[in-house]
Structure 1
Amino acid sequence: MYKQIKNMACSIIITPLLLVSSLSACSGSSGNTATNTTSSTASVVSIDAMTSVPVVNGSATKGTLYIHNYGNKPVTSLSFGLKDASTSSKLKSALNALGLSLSNSVVDKQGFYLNNPELCTTLAAGASCAINFTTPALTVGDRGNSLVTLNYKQNGKDYTTNQVVNYQYASSSALNGVNFTGSLTVSGVQKTTSHVVGYLLGGGVSGSKYSNVNVTATSPTTTISNGFINGQEVAAGQVIAVEFAVALQNDQKSFVNVVPSWASHSSNKATLDSSSNSGTALTLNLTPAQNTVNLLFGNIPVLTAPTTSAAVINVTNNGNSDSGGGLTVETDNPDLTITNNCSTTNLQANAANSCTISFSVAGYTPGSATVTFKQNSTDVGAQSVIWTNNTPVPAVYIQPNTSTISFGKGQTTPNNSTVFTLTNVGKAPLNSTNYVPINDAGFANWVQDGSTCGSSLAPQGVCTISGHFTGTNNGDGKLYYKANGTYNSVNYSFVSLPLSYQVTSVPSLIITPLNVNMTLLANGIESIVQQFSVNNSGTDAAIINTTTLSTNGGTVTPTITANNCGNSIAVGQNCSISVTYGPAATSLSANESGVANLNISYHGGTPDTQRTATDSFNYNLVGNDSTVIVGTPSATNLSGSGTQVSPFSGNSKLNPMQISITYTNPSVNYPLTNFNLNTNGLPYGMTVDVASTCPSGSAVANIESGAQNSCTLVLNLDRGLLTNAASGGSVVLDFTTPTATWTTPLGFYSSAGNQVYVNYLQPTVTFGLLNNNGNFESTTLSMTAANESMATSLNINVSGVINWLESAPTNLSSNCNLNSSDNSVSCNLLSTASGSISYIMPNYLQTGESANIPLMFSVTNGEYAYLNPSYLFINYIK
């Protein structure tokens, strides 16, 4: 029989590295960076680990959860929940009253929403889906966490997995450019592929945009999986959840840096800077690991002194071994009260359960502490805690943009690629301030490139310090920043937790392409040749020991027929290996399948270490009896050829956008009886057209033999559905051609699918508020369209305020018009890509009372754009 071979997912562990800082009056303190992980194993569903979500200027921000079934069996009855969840809330009721249905959404007591869990209810083997969430609004410098729970069924059994989502305040104007937030560690069994999410933030003043933005990994085994299309625009304030597929080829530790870059920066289409620029990178630390306990901690928010309601963080074990209990929490300040509900909890593997730790202070004096988490007496993480009230004292967080960074000996990271953000969450300025870097090791030189920090940091003020490294010697080091200043004749000193850096001299061989599927017809003539490229993406030469190809069965198997890699591969150099499959004799009538491993054993680096790189691929022999030939996909109104190098590309201007795939029966002996295509794994936004002649779903048909009989599957890219795609305005719709099944007198057959690559780009409109979450006379709503050239018209409607505000919106930009009947506003963002509206706060509230004033966004009927977000609340306190 001809069987479809899928890679079995093994242990995959993903670690978000915490971004935390420490503060003290008169003297500084610091702690260790936490290393926490998320794991998925065979037949397990996992929610992608992610960097902390930037809550732009404090307004609620939309993010994305990507969910993967890493097993080889389907899962059903997916049900999402939140810890401390509620089916209703004041904000949800307000939106429902305005006609925005959130009937399926879930909200927790922090105000964290799961927006559209109905988009992900079943998952085929190896498939993925995505849903959106919205963070709560945050005050300057604040942070928080929520626990997402996913229940599902597999083989009639119930399973649960969890994911901690961290979020923190981010000022879009504090840092120009397009930048990633945070870093991740990806650990797992060699030859597996995992997925992680790095949040990308467009910085700068409202209305500015960056064109021809690209996200480039230093290793070709790390690729964009969803959420971003290279070459697109990014607007200031825009948050993008970029999902990456990370293939783990090597058996030793290595790292990948993912660098964002752009060609030009403009404001209202006036070019400001035409030079090439790069932003802060996402560092992925790749670490083979199994049977480990890996704890992930939620962000500790800013506390109020005294604390009336304790702040709670969630903790999960995202590793692949139970913890057995033993988690302790220590603090360097006795004023901080810690209630550890995790000390005796056996945190189960694969985040099957969770526990909580709460923090509070009883006194009225503002202060801070460093909190250290230990598992069986071993440090596993650290965070800082600040508590404030109306007492006039400064309180400053100092936070690096990433917790870890890796680079080679002799290498220099890009200018301004490492950034420390300073935020004063206190009620008094830090005056006469000086900022001092502390490099605790001689393994790298730190060069400060720029700073927006002056001699005084005002309350609620944010500034940044940026710079770069040059590696001088192999080793690990830490960089701190200390801010020393005064207020009211009292000295204060604030210290960041360290940015850990690693300087290496190690080779790292990468084999491409990935996910090869060699299919051979047993006709006695044909053979298939696949060329593999080998690249040294490391920081030292690789010395080759052996190159082998192992297979796991079959009458005919692939073999290595050419190899020009020689005895060594220098840094950045390439070589090639050719693998040939076939020919196969016509006497072979049975279909066969197998998995081959191309293994390169090598060594090098300091210290000299033995390493192995492996690329696995499928090979399939089509016997000379019954098979299906899947034709090369063709497209209507889509550019490209559907390959990885040249994907099909569409946009919201085009209609219809269709992909056609022909399935042909070449057999002269057997019809394809009860023929069916399994289209359940198609990505969201892609539908089967009524013009299709191939049966799918529950339908079956017979395709006769002897005359090259065939049917054609026609797929549509649905522009309406894609405006709601959870991955955002840049949608990656890669899919495997639907598997065909049929029967003959010899039995049941199935065909392997081929990968088809599809991109879809639509305008994204980003909204933000100048003032929010406090007392102010008025606030300004800004909106900026990116990739608006993908639309024929783009009119944004803003409504919802008529029952909350006493005055009509004012100071409308020239491309916006007021509807006086309901105080809604319509803005044409095709003529001018940005717009603004001012809102005057109401007078009917009493001092201390608050109002949540909704702003709802929509596009005119017949127009297509992704709205980020689709609503905002003005959180006003009288």
Structure 2
Amino acid sequence: MKSAKIIGALVLLISQIAGCSNGGPGASGGIIPFSPFSAAPALSVNDMTSVPIVNGGNTAGKIYIHNNGNSTVSSIRVGLQNATQTSKLVHMLSLMGINLNSSIADKNGFRLTNPDNCAVIKAGASCFIDFVTPSLAAGQRNSAVISVDYTNSKQQSQHYQSIVNYAYVDSASLTGVNFYGGSVSAVGETGNVKYVTAYLLGGGTPGTIYNNVNLQISNVGAVGLANGFVNGNQVAAGQVIPVEFLVKLNGNKPTVATVTPSYGETTQTIKATQLLKSASLQGHSLQDGLGDSLLINLTPAQAQANLVFSNLPVLSLESGTTATVTVVNNGNADVAAGTFTVTDTDGGTHVAISNNCSGVIPAYAASSCTVGFSVNDATITGSDVVTYKISGSTVGSDTLYYKRNNAFPALTLAPAPSAIAMAKSAVVESTVTYTITNTGIVPLTGISLSSNISSSSMVTTFNNITGTCGITSLATAFNLNSGASCTVIGKYQAGGSSGVGYAYLQANVTYNSTAYKYSSLPVRYTITAAPNLIFTTPAAGVTPDITTDANGFESNSYTFTIQNTGSESAILTSYSLVPSGAQADVVPAIDASNSTCLQTGTVAPGASCNVAVKYGPIVATESSNESGTLLMTFNYHGGVPDTAYVESTAMTYHLVGNDSYVGVEFSGLNTESGTGTSAGAAFVTTGKASTNQGVTLTYTNYSQNYDMTNFNVNTNNLPRGLQASGSGTCPTGSSTATLAKSSSCTIILTVNKADYQTVGGSTTFGGLIPFPQASWWVNTNSGTPQGGFYLSGALKNAASATGFYLSYTQAQLTSTLSTNNGQFVSTNLTMAVTNATGYATFNSTVAGVSSYLESAPVAISGGCTANLSGVTCPVWNGTSATSGVVSYIMPTYFVSGSATNIPLVFGTSSSVYVYLNPAYMFINYTQS
């Protein structure tokens, strides 16, 4: 029965698929109905740069899908426009649970390998679909259209389309690590977070490895790494890496952020299994090169269209004379009917254009439309520069190449990068490399080039020509064999005007007495002439938070850093913390004394300034936890024309109510000097004093509401040499007590001087000595438990200190033997005292040796007295030290080979504390 059901389902599906137009779910003419929505949909697909097809082989990539809504989206269907009939059948069967192979391919061979991977996406989450491109011949380009269909939380069918462009790349013609595809855009309302994908490509010959690759982001307040790459990795020649970026649309104006790959030294010919590794390359700090940058165009706007176009393929006229471009609007405003137009340089001589996008082009990529191109003469070869416009303003450009594979010339010119950004009248130039390929079947001689720039006031020239074509001037002719490529490298110089435009090269060649002209793909340039304040702290995607306890003395702060990345000075009008939503009783405030930004100051291009925000002290009567959100907002103007701007970023804050809080204060106990507040001002204690010395800690219950029951201070983790005295009033060990609100108790910590006599001459007890932790229960006045068990974290005092500093020093008695180990008649013991200033008079002592020797020791010097019962030497008279020397006479009755160990145990004759170095030793005697 099960097999019969499957066969029936197959028949039904085949009949359904046969009746559909080309396309999977959501494709033009597909089986899923939808209508555009005026509000942003829950799901979005990353806009991405073109995918490089390295040396023509298949390339793997990723399509990221984000759920920007507040609920889980299920039953998501991902498809391809122009999917093959077999792919559509297999995919529909997989949705029914019949998993033959869920991958989908279009008619060009572009394949989604796991389209069912994103069937369910939780709110705020994302997932990705893997794809593999088809192989391409040199000079070829193509594209695929992705569709995403689902039902939203209002049970409405929604549809989203995305374009994946891909093109042939000869990796050997490139050097270093580069972003391929030039630029990508993010459009949305101010404060929105978007995601984009770009493709990182390793150039050079096979086996080349670029070490310590890092992605340098010009605007870290707006752009951050999200997925796909970790700074410090290696990248191999020919390796393609999809990198996802988080983009935060701050401010109220369009800006451009650059992401530039930098790389260190290169290595050659390593094993394939080592092509990408996260090896520990932190030592490779030398940056040998910078690659082509990615430009991310950020457009914060309430209503702004953003058109994305599929590649114009290179037409082989033997196979067909038509090409189609798909147009998708992933902005947040519709393109009005009749405002989208297409122009070209051919002017209708050889290429006819059919604009099928004359109606409304809906926002949020809700549908797509197409522009058709038809070459009316299948015997010619050439190119046509195409320009896309909305209401007369250029929004995109491309080049249509068409050729016939017989004895006709055919050239393609591909720029890298395909987008550049410069400040007007800047000294810095932008380098662009054009790869020129002879895609025809005949060699070409006498090729010359010319530069075309849409506005010479924005970009003045393309000069400083170098490259493998062997020319230093565009007018210098060169030759190129069939199938061969070479590069022309030059620099574009910014002019005195700002704006956006396009530049391209044209190749001129004569073949069989006929002149031909070929145009490159365009380079989009952005020339800026405005201030552009961005937050470098915090970085993109980071919302800072300040949390402060309401205890009457604690305060915390955060510092914002703003930088002017524009080409004109930013003139500050004001800056402030703007409330966003409900606020606490006490809110953070700007700390002007620690801020370098002036309220009406000027921030020069490239300069930065800081604004410090402080939270606290907060009075201890604030007993409830509260929080809020503030916007750090800068108002400024500048540029030509003088324009007003706003830049802001959010911060959160939390007020921790004083329902149960312990504070600690400290003071010295019989200490010599010091305040205990730093290592340089530690409490000083010494061994010369016989009294207890140390610190008194006062624990206070700062709660205004509750007593602390079962209160206990844990003194079990004190450093060696420090001990809790029994004279304190706080309970320790297994004891507990109630610490009433606003009341205090004490812990007395003293130096264990007797213990430290065998340890060393001095100690700082490891530096900062943290206040011992306390624990308690909180009850209401009626005795009902309130809040449960509390264990303090790092306790603080009124100055926010979490501990104290204490030092201990003592005199040192050093004892040495003149001779030891072996046979000798006698050996001299010398006892010397150091570091005894301030000590009262004391003697050194040695225990008696009557149980070990028959001859009494003999005093040699230093005023010592010696006999078998012991030795006493007056080593310190209160002002100066005297070394005592005593001779020990060895026994004479031992037989040959006998050995003995005679212990000497040292001490002092008074109640002072001295480091005994050593506390004891052995005379090691052997009869020979």
TM-score class normalised by the smaller sequence = 0.5 to 0.7
Q: C-alpha deviations, 1:768-796, integer Å up to 9, x for none? A: xxxxxxxxxxxxxxxxxxxxxxxxxxxxx
Q: C-alpha deviations, 1:718-762, integer Å up to 9, x for none? A: xxxxxxxxxxxxxxxxxxxxxxxxxxxxxxxxxxxxxxxxxxxxx
Aligned to 1:564: 596
Aligned to 1:483: 507
1:323 to 331, 335, 343: 335
Greater relative contact order (CA < 8 Å, ≥ 6 in sequence): 1
Aligned to 1:513: 538
Aligned: 1:391 with 2:406:
yes
Contact 2:544–2:651 (8 Å) recurs in 1: yes
Aligned: 1:528 with 2:552:
no
Letter of the structure 1 residue corresponding to residue 211 of structure 2: S
2:120 to 119, 122, 126: 122
**Structure-2 change in CA distance of 1:248 and 1:414 (3 Å):** same
Aligned: 1:142 with 2:140:
yes
Contact 1:310–1:360 (8 Å) recurs in 2: yes
- Number of residue pairs matched by the alignment: 591
Equivalences for residues 281-680 of structure 1 within 5 A = 281-308=293-320, 310-326=322-338, 327-330=340-343, 332-344=347-359, 346-361=360-375, 363-367=377-381, 368-375=383-390, 379-409=394-424, 411-413=426-428, 417-439=431-453, 441-443=456-458, 444-453=460-469, 455-476=478-499, 478-496=502-520, 498-511=522-535, 512-514=537-539, 515-518=542-545, 520=547, 523-525=550-552, 526-551=554-579, 552-554=581-583, 555-562=585-592, 563-566=595-598, 567-584=601-618, 591-622=625-656
Letter of the structure 1 residue corresponding to residue 571 of structure 2: I
Equivalences for residues 11-90 of structure 1 within 5 A = 42=40, 44-86=42-84, 88=86
Contact 2:397–2:522 (8 Å) recurs in 1: no
How far is 1:277 from its partner? 1.0
Letter of the structure 2 residue corresponding to residue 387 of structure 1: Y
- The SS at the match of 1:349 is coil
Aligned: 1:177 with 2:176:
yes
- The SS at the match of 1:77 is coil
- Distance in 1 separating the partners of 2:442 and 2:562: 57
Equivalences for residues 857-868 of structure 1 within 5 A = none
How far is 1:423 from its partner? 2.6
Aligned to 2:254: 253
Q: C-alpha deviations, 1:131-178, integer Å up to 9, x for none? A: 221111111111111111112343252322111111111111111111
Using the size of structure 2 for normalisation, the TM-score is 0.58
Contact 1:280–1:419 (8 Å) recurs in 2: no
Aligned: 1:238 with 2:263:
no
Contact 1:437–1:479 (8 Å) recurs in 2: yes
Aligned to 1:197: 197
How far is 1:82 from its partner? 0.8
- Distance in 2 separating the partners of 1:286 and 1:295: 14
How far is 1:576 from its partner? 1.4
Deviates more, 1:107-116 or 1:38-47: 38-47
Equivalences for residues 806-825 of structure 1 within 5 A = none
**Structure-2 change in CA distance of 1:622 and 1:116 (3 Å):** farther
- Distance in 1 separating the partners of 2:547 and 2:48: 40
Q: C-alpha deviations, 1:408-451, integer Å up to 9, x for none? A: 24544477x32222233323233111233345515545333521
Aligned to 2:789: 707
Letter of the structure 1 residue corresponding to residue 74 of structure 2: T
Q: C-alpha deviations, 1:100-129, integer Å up to 9, x for none? A: x98222211111111223433333333222
Aligned to 2:473: none
**Structure-2 change in CA distance of 1:379 and 1:251 (3 Å):** closer
- The SS at the match of 1:706 is strand
- The SS at the match of 2:456 is coil
Deviates more, 1:370-379 or 1:62-71: 370-379
Contact 2:190–2:301 (8 Å) recurs in 1: no
How far is 1:516 from its partner? 2.2
Letter of the structure 2 residue corresponding to residue 259 of structure 1: T
Contact 1:521–1:624 (8 Å) recurs in 2: no
Q: What percentage of aligned pairs have identical amino acids?
A: 37
- Distance in 1 separating the partners of 2:393 and 2:569: 35
- Distance in 1 separating the partners of 2:589 and 2:379: 73
Contact 2:195–2:247 (8 Å) recurs in 1: yes
**Structure-2 change in CA distance of 1:521 and 1:569 (3 Å):** closer
Contact 1:216–1:259 (8 Å) recurs in 2: yes
**Structure-2 change in CA distance of 1:537 and 1:294 (3 Å):** closer
Contact 2:190–2:302 (8 Å) recurs in 1: no
Q: Which has the larger radius of gyration?
A: 2
**Structure-2 change in CA distance of 1:434 and 1:334 (3 Å):** closer
**Structure-2 change in CA distance of 1:529 and 1:82 (3 Å):** same
Letter of the structure 2 residue corresponding to residue 452 of structure 1: T
Aligned: 1:161 with 2:160:
yes
Contact 2:429–2:493 (8 Å) recurs in 1: no
Equivalences for residues 775-854 of structure 1 within 5 A = none
Q: C-alpha deviations, 1:321-349, integer Å up to 9, x for none? A: 333543454552344354544334x3322
**Structure-2 change in CA distance of 1:434 and 1:546 (3 Å):** same
Contact 1:40–1:46 (8 Å) recurs in 2: no
**Structure-2 change in CA distance of 1:504 and 1:300 (3 Å):** closer
- Distance in 2 separating the partners of 1:269 and 1:411: 42
**Structure-2 change in CA distance of 1:41 and 1:264 (3 Å):** farther
- The SS at the match of 1:173 is helix
Q: CA RMSD in A?
A: 3.6
- Distance in 2 separating the partners of 1:599 and 1:355: 41
Aligned to 2:753: none
Aligned to 2:912: none
- Distance in 2 separating the partners of 1:156 and 1:116: 28
- The SS at the match of 1:119 is helix
Deviates more, 1:469-478 or 1:350-359: 469-478
- Distance in 2 separating the partners of 1:709 and 1:80: 52
- Distance in 2 separating the partners of 1:626 and 1:302: 74
- The SS at the match of 1:216 is strand
Contact 2:262–2:287 (8 Å) recurs in 1: no
Q: C-alpha deviations, 1:14-51, integer Å up to 9, x for none? A: xxxxxxxxxxxxxxxxxxxxxxxx99965532111111
In the alignment, structure 1 segments of 5+ residues that lack a partner are 1-37, 628-666, 670-703, 711-878
- The SS at the match of 1:423 is strand
How far is 1:365 from its partner? 0.9
- The SS at the match of 1:190 is coil
- The SS at the match of 2:179 is strand
Contact 1:144–1:167 (8 Å) recurs in 2: yes
- Distance in 2 separating the partners of 1:54 and 1:257: 19
In the alignment, structure 2 segments of 5+ residues that lack a partner are 1-35, 272-284, 471-477, 662-704, 708-785, 793-928
Letter of the structure 2 residue corresponding to residue 349 of structure 1: A
Q: C-alpha deviations, 1:223-245, integer Å up to 9, x for none? A: 22221111111111111112222
How far is 1:581 from its partner? 2.9
- Distance in 2 separating the partners of 1:207 and 1:233: 12
- Distance in 2 separating the partners of 1:282 and 1:668: 59
Letter of the structure 1 residue corresponding to residue 528 of structure 2: T
